[in-house]
């Protein structure tokens, strides 16, 4: 009886060792052999694709500000509007400069100042200024309205755009 047990144990141990050897050789093979091939072929392509996808995503649309508007501070928006002041006045009845006066722009039609010579591109856009389209326009004016006369690169930070839009909402 006891010697049979011993035989069984030996067989079991042999199978176990064989299994471990097979696992280890597989592990070692995976670890060292294919890496050389993959590193040159697969990985850089994948990395390039990820980088391209990332860049496209960043380029495509302005980050939404709808959720930021409620907490946005119009006083901060007024301060940020200094970046616009070379071209825009914001007070009621203020003059047009390089750009139109911006009093009562929010919720008003695009091209709301009758005495200002807007670009055809802006007038053709049509509709009313709201949170969503002001966000897009102020993010990258020439992306939202290709051909606009507004030569301004845009505001990158969503918090800044939210503050400006909140400020524009108060000008009525």
Binding site for ligand HEC (CB under 6 A): 83-84, 86-88, 98-100, 102, 105, 110-113, 118-119, 121-122, 129, 138, 148-152, 155, 164
Backbone torsion region of residue 107, taken as left when φ is above 0, otherwise alpha when ψ lies between -120 and 50, otherwise beta: left
Nearer to ligand HEC, 11 or 156 (CB): 156
Q: Minimum distance from CB of 170 to ligand HEC (Å)? A: 13
In the complex, what is the shortest distance from the CB of residue 160 to ligand HEC, in angstroms, rounded to a whole number? 8
Q: Which is nearer to ligand HEC, 58 or 126 (CB)?
A: 126
Among the listed residues 137, 158, 129, the one whose alpha carbon sits nearest the alpha carbon of residue 64: 158
Beta carbon nearer to ligand HEC, 64 or 78: 78
Which of 113, 117, 116, 111 minimizes the C-alpha distance to 137? 111
Please list, residue by residue across 41-68, b when 16 or more beta carbons sit within 10 angstroms of its beta carbon and e when fewer do: eeeeeeeeeeeeeeeeeeeeebeebeeb
Minimum distance between the CB of residue 74 and ligand HEC, rounded to whole angstroms? 13
| Of 37 and 94, CB closest to ligand HEC | 94
Q: How many residues does the chain have?
A: 172
User: What residues have CB less than 8 Å from 14, skipping those under 6 apart?
Assistant: none
Nearer to ligand HEC (CB atom), residue 64 or residue 87: 87
Q: How far is the CB of 58 from ligand HEC (least distance, A)?
A: 20
Query: Cα-flanking dihedrals φ and ψ of residue 142, to 5°?
Result: -80, -10
Place of tokens 């006066």: 101
Q: How far is the CB of 131 from ligand HEC (least distance, A)?
A: 12
């Amino acid at each position: 009886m006891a010697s049979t047990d011993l035989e069984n144990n030996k067989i079991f141990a042999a199978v176990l060792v064989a299994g471990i050897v097979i696992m280890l050789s597989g592990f070692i093979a995976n670890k060292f052999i294919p890496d050389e091939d993959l590193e040159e072929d697969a990985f850089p392509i994948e990395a390039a694709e990820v980088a391209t996808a990332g860049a496209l995503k960043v380029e495509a649309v302005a980050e939404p500000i709808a959720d930021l508007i409620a907490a946005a501070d119009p006083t901060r928006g007024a301060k940020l509007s200094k970046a616009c002041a070379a071209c825009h006045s914001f007070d009621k009845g203020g003059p047009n400069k390089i750009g139109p006066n911006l009093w009562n722009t929010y919720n008003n039609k695009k091209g709301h100042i009758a005495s200002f010579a807007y670009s055809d591109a802006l007038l053709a856009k049509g509709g009313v200024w709201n949170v969503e389209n002001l966000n897009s326009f102020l993010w990258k004016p020439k992306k939202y309205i290709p051909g606009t006369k507004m030569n301004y690169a845009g505001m990158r930070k969503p918090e800044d755009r939210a503050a400006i839009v909140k400020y524009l909402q108060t000008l009525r």
